[in-house]
A and B are shown apart, each in its own frame.
Chain A
């Protein structure tokens, strides 16, 4: 075939531009760390990448939600621990008070005062706030469970309704604990003990005895509530671990799908660079000489 200067220069130009193109692509990949920057680079990777990206965002969000779950459960458990202590103290007081023979008037009034304090403490616990949420108010988180105006614990359905937080696709953890009945029962108990103490009656100690067993009953209720919270905490812990695994898996999938393999890409770049250099040097050699250079 007859070969002319214009063919050589055209071919060289095309070779140069295609190797520049390749290097540009590699440069982009190395700069962004991503194999693809537009759908036409690799439609499948881009499409999968969109799904994986969503997955990573989801897991991230669920982890945030998990923090919220722990917040609720830990605070609820702490608060119920406080309730337990109130009951223990009440039991001690009731036991003391039942010993009517040894009780002086001032002892009784001291017990009454302490019971008043316990009551207030109990009301405070019932109105425990985490952030701006009353955690024992069901879904009425803006309202305290103990209503100071009515001097009673709220009993509406909404105060008992469950609050749950999604921690994985379709997996919801209940974070609220329905304690409104428990609080009002304990409150009633406090009242009774106070009354009995005030009367100083109960010659046979029967009423106090019943009282103490009632207190024990409430302690059981508190314990079972705490056990429930503990069980949910365990489940949260499991979910937490699972989410961490999921996070790893999702990020790994995303990375495998769209991240650049630096070793490979840099090697490719070096190869392309060598080819580019060769193209340039061959071009420079071939374009230069012509018969002109050798004619006088």
Chain B
């Protein structure tokens, strides 16, 4: 037998539940612009019917509904899209960082422009030609010496700038690992909180959101895999549990977060905090991956961290030194070395104004092999341009002989075996061309992975983000349901009024 006030109780539940839904709508609206927020939904469910099932339960037609309750408040999210998002974000992280590194290199190399190495070489060549035609002219000599110095300066400047940026990339790697460590610790901390809350039957939606945000950030740095473990207790079926984070490698993935256990990552050989010339890899400490090592060769080619390393330079499996910046520096060194050597050779075959054999025109600052950073014009010649060996005379001073100056000019265009059969000028053009091709590829990849990420992100937003129109519609729905439940109570009130005040007064 149902109770007299059952209708009131049913309507009251309706009021409460619609109110919860209204509050959640308010929460959604409030967080419409919160980054990483997923909209929430009150999962309403009808309460169990009357009478309850049992031996002593009375019999009556069917079950009589007893109203509604808020079963759970769930955030709307699709873990598959999260997975996709993170894998695209890793790719974008790689290419964005790479195109950035290449753009910086393009900036300092400054080709094509009127200030690049190419122009200074061209100016140098012109001055040598002028000297060849006017070997007796002191002005032409001085110009050659200064233009030669300009070429050396260009080499020095480019090399120095490139190595400075390389240093910055090293700092970025350092910073990247610190960020990764901080993210891992935070994820571990959130796991801990989630594991405390869930067994009590709650769904900590805001903690899930925070954790997903951290995972998104982490994924742009390194490629990750995630899996979840249930926390047990009275945790709701839709509770997410704790996340296990693994860093993908070319072999087995390395577990870095498991429940509350967190590993930290450190760059190999950096006790003093300064990076070595070339990286070899990372070591993990603490947590599930304690003592494990990740060499650069085993790193998957995605994520900002790997991109920075690819730019900065590392030692590969065969002990080769690889990397965008070191490659450029090696090429510049090679070019400077071959150019200076050939130029000196020709210069030393000539004779100067006094009929003495030519000195080396270029000298290495540190008196070793020529490098882009050490190449400089011989001070003796700089002080006395008459020591320029413009003449090819073998018998003595010939002021009007400029044949060797012409030969010096030809050094720019002579094929050189050491430069893969190219000329000095050709080799440099190739270096620039190759840089351009790599830059172009990086930009294209950045664009395409950016577009993909945007479309995945749109898909995610389509599922999880707050639509104000939708919330307004919901608001009206819940408000009307709330009003209707209240009206239902009025009806009950009137019915009870009838029972209490209007019944049993027959004949009065």
Contact = CB atoms under 8 A, between A and B. Distances in A.
B454 A142 contact: no
Interface residues of A, number: 59
A61 B458 CA distance: 59
Contact of A47 (B391, B429, B466): B429
A158 B111 contact: no
B462 A50 contact: no
Nearest to B463: A2
Interface string A137-179: 1111111000000000000011001011110000010000000
A126 interface: no
B468 A44 contact: no
B122 interface: yes
A39 B133 contact: no
B365 interface: no
Interface stretch (B188-196, B256-264, B398-406, B498-506): B398-406
Contacts of A290: 468-469, 472
B106 A38 contact: yes
B136 A7 contact: no
A141 B399 contact: yes
Contacts of A68: 133-134
A4 B465 contact: yes
Interface string A254-284: 0000100000000000000000000000000
A18 B133 CA distance: 54
Chain B interface size range: 35 or more
B385 to A, nearest CB: 15
B112 A161 contact: no
Interface stretch (B124-132, B160-168, B306-314): B124-132
A216 B391 CA distance: 38
Nearest to B399: A142
Chain A CB within 10 Å, residue with most, of B33, B107, B136, B442: B136
Interface stretch (A51-59, A105-113, A182-190, A205-213): A51-59
A49 B428 CA distance: 12
Nearest to B35: A6
A43 B462 contact: no
B458 A7 contact: yes
B461 interface: yes
A78 interface: no
A128 B249 CA distance: 81
B488 interface: no
B27 to A, nearest CB: 16
A57 B32 contact: no
A36 B406 CA distance: 33
Interface in B84-135: 99, 102-103, 106-107, 109, 111-112, 118-119, 122-123, 125-126, 129-130, 132-135
Interface in A280-294: 290-292
Interface string A65-90: 10010000000000000000000000
8 contacts: A3-B462, A5-B465, A39-B439, A43-B437, A46-B432, A50-B428, A138-B398, A140-B398
